[in-house]
Amino acid sequence: MFMKQVYDTGLAQAAYIIGCQASGDAIVIDPERDIDQYHRIARENDLRITAVAETHIHADFVSGAQEFARDSDITLYLSGKGGPDWSYNWVGDRPNTIFLEDGSTFSVGNIEFKAVHSPGHTPEHMSFLVTDRGGGATEPIAIITGDFLFVGDVGRPDLLESAAGVAGAMEPSARMLAGSLATRLEDLPEFLQVLPGHGAGSACGKALGAVPTSTLGYERRFNGALSLALTKPERFVGEVLSGQPEPPLYFARMKQVNRDGIEVTGGAPEARHLDPAAFVSEAAKPQTRVLDTRRSREAFLAERLPQAINAPMKGTEFTNAAGSVVTADERVLLVLESDEDADTAVRLLYRIGFDHIVGYVRFDELKEHAPNHLTTLASERFQDFSIDKLGENDVVLDVRRSDEFASAHVEGALHVPHTRIRTQLEKLETGKRYYVYCRTGRRAAIAASFLASIGHDVVLLDGDCEHCMTASAA
């Protein structure tokens, strides 16, 4: 048996390629949209992809199942447990599509997969037990858990409500998740490998571990959320719903396109290298967003295009920034540190449903050929900031999570989480100056640069903000 975790650090997402080396067949579970990466891995290991499976309808990336579905010879294995609201509407009458029930089994070569209905994160969620029958195994080697069970955490049950807008779904989903954790894993062996759908940095949980895989025995002992679900389910409901980060704006659209469909393009668009003059001209056009992907916040603050939004290519920061302030109908321009970043940036945008990528320029090209178009983003160190100096038109804007704000914040601060800044612009008056802060300056730089790009007067409060906040003001 061949097994490989394909991990995307930009989305903290894991897909799995599992192949039968005897037959040469392979399956991809939870693929991203740019499926050429999986075909390449299969070819390199003398395998061919003949099947694709999904654990659930994803909220944080465009599933590659729709791209794979162009090949009618590939068999799709999808959950049939979503009911009328969370079924795969895009499938239609496609041949070689099998909808799974709890306990359904199928094989890829000599590898057996058993579907385990594990609802809670979503109603239709499936996990997959993997058994190497060709190797003589009579028990599964692994369980692919999607967003059901993570290393150190469990899937968040609030996204149907907080991202997809299904009112009243949060608490029932949390109770359903507690029940699934208590019953669906109960009879499985301790040695079973846990292969999760996400790692640290994903917005699909709040305490995900950075270790890529685990075992069920280890998680039973040291996964606090799992232990709570098994021993104190009522307390689990409250705990799992508290402190969850507000999901980025694009999550709602991902739920919709993964259920109802998105354009099948045959691959990510190519990144066009624009000359600086053309780039500056494009940046001034309406319905255009400029994402500055340079990794140094200090460099961005010192020199940037007026339209540029801070979206550094570090971990999940780029996709979270882009997915919070860009909408699918807008045109995207990229400022890059190097040409080598172009393909990665375009693929990451493509994976979250942004197809209108006009092109890119390197920052050194802008600095050399269009220096008069560069400006700064006003900032000051948080430790030098005092609310006593604020005028009547000055507003302090806190862009941290709601639980952080509730715990402590700067006295009199307005609160808008940075992942929701695009949808709550009505809270911001024109003619005001906004002093924007988070805990370290990372999230505030995204929000402040976005606000500056659409004409607001902003000052970034950069650095550690702890000393300026008081719990009594919460």
CB 356 within 8 Å of CB 265: no
Report the pLDDT value the prediction gives residue 162, as an integer from 0 to 100: 85
Q: Extract the tokens encoding 113.
A: 């997969």
Does residue 216 register a pLDDT over 70?
A: yes
Report the pLDDT value the prediction gives residue 123, as an integer from 0 to 100: 96
Does residue 459 register a pLDDT over 80?
A: yes
The percentage of the chain sitting over the pLDDT mark of 70, rounded to a whole number, equals 98
The percentage of the chain sitting over the pLDDT mark of 90, rounded to a whole number, equals 90
Q: pTM value?
A: 0.95
**Complete DSSP assignment for 369-433:** H-GGG-B---EEEGGG--GGG--TTEEEEE-S-HHHHHH-B-TT-EE--GGGGGGGGGGSPTT-E
Q: Give the mean model confidence (pLDDT) for residues 9-23.
A: 97
Collapsed DSSP state (helix, strand, coil) of residue 466:
helix
Q: What is the CATH number of domain 276-373?
A: 3.40.250.10
Cα–Cα distance, 206 to 162 (Å, whole number): 14
Q: Give the mean model confidence (pLDDT) for residues 167-191.
A: 96
Does residue 470 register a pLDDT over 80?
A: no
Report the pLDDT value the prediction gives residue 473, as an integer from 0 to 100: 40
Report the pLDDT value the prediction gives residue 164, as an integer from 0 to 100: 81
Give the model confidence (pLDDT) of 385-401 as tens digits.
988 889 999 999 999 99
Q: What is the mean pLDDT of the chain?
A: 95
Give the model confidence (pLDDT) of 400-426 as tens digits.
999 999 999 999 999 999 999 999 999
Confidence label for 467 from pLDDT (cuts 50, 70 and 90): low
Q: What angle do CA 263, 268, 271 make, to 5 degrees?
A: 130
Q: Give the mean model confidence (pLDDT) for residues 323-345.
A: 97
Does residue 207 register a pLDDT over 80?
A: no
Report the pLDDT value the prediction gives residue 472, as an integer from 0 to 100: 41
Cα–Cα distance, 216 to 192 (Å, whole number): 6
Q: Which of 62, 56, 122, 60 has the alpha carbon at shortest distance from 324?
A: 60
**Complete DSSP assignment for 241-279:** HTTPPPPPTHHHHHHHHHHH-----SSPPPPPB--HHHH
Q: Which of 7, 30, 112 has the alpha carbon at shortest distance from 79?
A: 30
Q: Any idea which fold 379-473 has?
A: Oxidized Rhodanese; domain 1 (3.40.250)
Q: What angle do CA 286, 292, 297 make, to 5 degrees?
A: 135
Report the pLDDT value the prediction gives residue 465, as an integer from 0 to 100: 77
Check for a shared fold between 276-373 and 379-473. Answer: yes
Kindly list the domain boundaries of the chain, sorted by start residue: 2-260, 276-373, 379-473
Confidence label for 209 from pLDDT (cuts 50, 70 and 90): confident
Q: Which of 119, 135, 160 has the alpha carbon at shortest distance from 18?
A: 135
Report the pLDDT value the prediction gives residue 471, as an integer from 0 to 100: 57
Confidence label for 176 from pLDDT (cuts 50, 70 and 90): very high
Report the pLDDT value the prediction gives residue 90, as an integer from 0 to 100: 97
Does residue 334 register a pLDDT over 90?
A: yes
CB 353 within 8 Å of CB 62: yes
- Per CATH, is 2-260 categorized as 3.60.15.10? yes
Does residue 206 register a pLDDT over 90?
A: no
